Chains A and B, each alone.
Chain A
């Protein structure tokens, strides 16, 4: 393998590993193309730590030269035991764990550090671990993913008279980030769709994402229209939306930008659906943070959680200043608004921001969780994520390239998916019996999105995943999570299905810091996990007795 050229030192003995919640341990360190492996030297208690290099967000190294050998080192190659030099590598992971390695020998330390730096930043999908990961109980012959647009459409019989499955994008020529098949209004032809696509950023023309069985109303999503400064119109776009109306008196467009931002977007060729051209659609603007600002918010929050000063005022001010909880509040209340339009007001809604790949997906997902009981089971939730994030073209590769610790210059990173998981956690806190999955699932997904054995979150869209062979040569996380043992672990023992909508409270008092994630590696979180275990045991014991 070509990885070997990045590995100058593959094994080091007598390394001390310090990790949260464990006493320091001494053992052997081993670097492979994708992993860092540490095995405890102590007899009997052979503990191993296996860490995906991809999980490492940033490293800090410091070497120390205890004795005056420095002159010798530069010339001689045998720097091993005799030297008094040593080094320390601090590894900050994307799952927010911080590990430290004390490595004897300066050169070995630098070699290891170099390997980690290089190998953790591989960015070609086929080089990544999912292409090598072959668990015995999964087969590559299996269908990749839980479902497909075709299947989804065929299962939704009730929409067939008004909606059709279009394969206008089968070669990705209409929209690069859409899957080959999408659901569109029945009487809108493929030629029309092509024209609409030209009027929408990135070709993301309006498609169906949710059908509300109770009243036949729908949620659609797209990217922003492109009227630009000249206020161009696109008859086909207007007709498509009119076709959705289907006799209803009006519909809503939820724009995830402020009206100011939407206006400004005209200057760069974008814009919004003006009232004069889309007379039966009412626009609602909700400013949601995106992109770099969101990434910076995450960085600030993680920094605040690591603050050791133990000063209450400082903590509260940093928490406030990070704005993370504000973003949670905005996301949940915008999703609430969307769900209200559909469920309470009984109208269809089109959601978009600018690109339609981030905040758009965030609120359409949350609204579905609020309204649709089918999305709240373990299977239903994973299918929802697959549909609304993986297939819908959230650019995971770009968004999750780095997390909160990285010193690399930010490019396309943005923790939108993490924000979603946090919002779902808030829902779970407020409705602890209404969701079929546990906090553990959310934590697992938060880790997997950044570093994974599975191919699910590789690449930026369907087209890339197919061309790079992800769907053929990697395993799908969602399927793995539904294996019996995993299914058991990730289920909510208290789950009680309810047909009712679950409207979250968005008062600041009702929203909390997601300690399970942001303070995951502290002792306090362990106590809470113990309580969850206790709950599981109680329910199991009760279940056994009730059955007997």
Chain B
């Protein structure tokens, strides 16, 4: 609490990003965990809650006549634009938020104080919801080719790896330890995915410490062992996900990549995915484009191109496809690495798994996959997501890119995924929110030390409990799109800008009606009807009970579709609101008439029109005028009138 300099500010305005003249007035509260804005308007209890952990940056802008603007950017891409009446208050809020959003120790994180009404037994069970060993045994492991190795039990060999690792049957502890000494951070080659059908595997590691000429017999034996664990194949791919130039540069630092001459039967391949710094800058540029107030189509597309974001997404997906095809179509095992093997490697392995295995396209499957390839293998969530105050150069949206790759695939295969876009967006939000313990810490060792599963709640069981919200109504386990390997196109035109995530809070931009919600309602209704029909048939003999059921059925057949017709209840207003049709893209807007005072119009019409007119028109007209006054198509900023005689002459 000591960080809160000012718990409450009155008369704060919250501006609408898309049409800034639309604003709400209310009270801003700072609590230990949230920033809360409560709208003043009578009757509506409109509240905006923002986790401090989601705050990415706070920025105070120059004082204006109306107050001091405060801009808050969030990690879930919400942008809040407040105007605070007095500069001192604004300054205090800024100082408080800057401190609150950058905790110095884990103990300050929200997950340790988040206490929903759940008893301890149940809380413990939350953490048993996902079991990685169960997933490995689903893949058929251990078996005669792959074994569970105890070598990293106390994180002795690699402190960033999980304790349980699968290695080739023939890999002995000396080979593993030897190999780990030849790899950055001791991250030796280990199994990520295994294909039961053809024994091909995806393995992952960090880069070898090969420098210009160093060799390591054990590392060579390790790869040999991986190759031998795929009896039908006589070679394997080693995929370095970095651009070749970066890999070569690493050689100067005693790191680098595998020399094909030293390893028997490997095919070495570079796939140029850029590093975390490039990705961070790219996302920053893209977000700047998203935030343009009224960009023209060209501004937007040029900005999107210059950000390079979609190019990077395509690179990750291309790499995933390469690996998935090697495994599924060629039956060849693949070893994937980048530098440390916890960013690009995690992206590429998990994308490949989604493409390969329909299980990872289910709700539970995607959770398992993130738990495995990201959490257990030591993606540095604390650093990448900036949970604690730290080096800004360590921050990078690597996991966002993975989620986006999944989304891009969902857009191409609408029937192949059990979950919907909302599922991905919710996960994205909670990766950063620190409400749950799952994404705290940089690796398993840290998480064990923090005793997260004793002290926090798990996101996975929360998502599972609410799974009804995350189901894709078009998913069919038996659909042809769902079967086996997904073969997406990576033609550039197949990639879309993910409005649903990056402009998530700009509701005016989204479709006003949701097909998905509509279908979900229909699906639920269909299910109910089917059940009723079944029990109907069962009891049809019993005359008494039949009567009873009939009434129930009747109630349900009058199912009203319309509540789902508009995306969300509270969007109804919005749905019927014209957009800002003047935008910034129209170069000339001469002779714009002055917007008449709302009351004036009504008055005029009252005088001149019949009463019937007013009756039919009433409220709609009113809301229309209220709206007009804050937008520009017919508004006051009129420019030069070409109609005037001077203009005509000068043209003549």
Contacts and interface: CB of A to CB of B under 8 A. Distances in A.
A505 B415 CA distance: 27
A65 to B, nearest CB: 36
A121 interface: no
A305 B476 contact: no
Contacts of B526: 538, 541-542, 545
Given A329-B296, A433-B515, A340 B578 contact: yes
B616 A214 contact: yes
B633 interface: yes
A315 B473 contact: no
Interface string A318-339: 0110010110111001101101
Contacts of B652: 229, 266
Contacts of A528: 414
B398 interface: no
B583 A285 contact: no
Contact of A527 (B301, B481, B561, B590): B481
Interface in B1-48: 18
Interface in A529-548: 530-531, 534-535, 538-539, 541-542, 545-548
B540 interface: no
Contacts of A284: 589, 591-592, 633
Contacts of B541: none
Contact of B581 (A276, A315, A506): A506
Nearest to B623: A344
B22 to A, nearest CB: 15
A545 B578 contact: no
Contact of B515 (A250, A494, A502): A494
B583 A506 contact: yes
Contacts of A343: 624
A260 B492 CA distance: 38
Given A343-B624, A500-B576, A314 B297 contact: no
Contacts of B493: 304-305, 315, 319, 513, 515, 519
Contacts of A259: 588, 590-591, 642
Nearest to B416: A527
Given A336-B579, A345-B624, A546-B529, A538 B519 contact: yes
Nearest to A312: B311
A311 B492 contact: yes
Contacts of A320: 297-298, 301-302, 305
Contacts of B518: 433, 494
Contacts of B647: 263
Contacts of A214: 616-617, 620
A263 to B, nearest CB: 5
Interface string B521-562: 011011001100100000000000000000000000101011
Interface in A445-471: none
B292 to A, nearest CB: 9
Contact of A340 (B530, B581, B592): B581
A300 to B, nearest CB: 13
Given A326-B297, A506-B579, A531 B588 contact: no
Contact of B578 (A231, A247, A336, A429): A336
13 contacts: A214-B617, A215-B613, A229-B652, A259-B588, A314-B492, A333-B582, A334-B581, A337-B581, A433-B513, A434-B513, A505-B579, A506-B579, A506-B580
B492 A312 contact: yes
A431 B301 contact: no
A333 B579 contact: yes
B494 interface: yes
B578 A316 contact: no
Interface stretch (B145-153, B225-233, B235-243, B504-512): B504-512
Contacts of A316: 301, 304-305, 310, 492
Contact of A346 (B294, B304, B601, B627): B601
Contacts of B370: none
A334 B270 CA distance: 49
A513 B497 CA distance: 11
B315 to A, nearest CB: 9
B491 to A, nearest CB: 6
B322 interface: no
Contacts of B311: 312-313
A4 interface: no
Q: In this complex, which of B473, B616, B620 has the most chain A Cβ atoms within 10 angstroms of its Cβ?
A: B620
Contact of A504 (B18, B579, B609): B579
A199 B526 CA distance: 62
Interface in A331-382: 333-334, 336-337, 339-341, 343-346
Given A333-B579, A346-B605, A524 B585 contact: no
Contacts of B474: 531, 534-535
Given A316-B301, A535-B515, A260 B588 contact: yes
A10 B305 CA distance: 50
Given A310-B491, A337-B581, A530-B415, A329 B643 contact: no
B484 to A, nearest CB: 15
Contacts of B415: 527, 530-531, 534
Contacts of A248: 608
A545 B413 contact: no
A279 B630 CA distance: 26
B290 A509 contact: yes
A262 interface: yes
B295 interface: yes
Interface in B596-652: 601, 604-605, 608-609, 613, 616-617, 620-621, 624-625, 627-628, 633-634, 641-644, 647-648, 651-652
B303 to A, nearest CB: 9
Contact of B509 (A340, A431, A510, A527): A510
B114 interface: no
A509 B624 CA distance: 25
B587 interface: yes
A335 to B, nearest CB: 8
B412 A503 contact: no
A464 B512 CA distance: 42
A331 to B, nearest CB: 11
A295 B593 CA distance: 34
Contacts of A11: none
A325 B300 CA distance: 11
B190 interface: no
A274 interface: yes
A522 interface: yes
B297 A511 contact: yes
B536 to A, nearest CB: 9
Contacts of A530: 414-415, 479-481
A283 interface: yes
A371 B266 CA distance: 65
B276 interface: no
B565 interface: yes
Nearest to B475: A534
Contacts of A498: 565
A247 B613 CA distance: 14
Nearest to A531: B414
Contacts of A216: 609, 613
A484 interface: no
A488 interface: no
B118 interface: no
A62 interface: no
Contacts of A325: 297, 301
Given A283-B590, A509-B503, A524-B412, A263 B651 contact: yes
A508 interface: yes
Contact of A538 (B523, B588, B589): B523
B496 interface: yes
Contacts of B413: 527
A286 interface: yes
Contacts of A500: 575-576
Nearest 5 Cβ contacts at the A-B interface: A315-B492, A508-B300, A344-B624, A531-B414, A320-B301
B314 interface: yes
Interface in A285-307: 285-287, 304-305
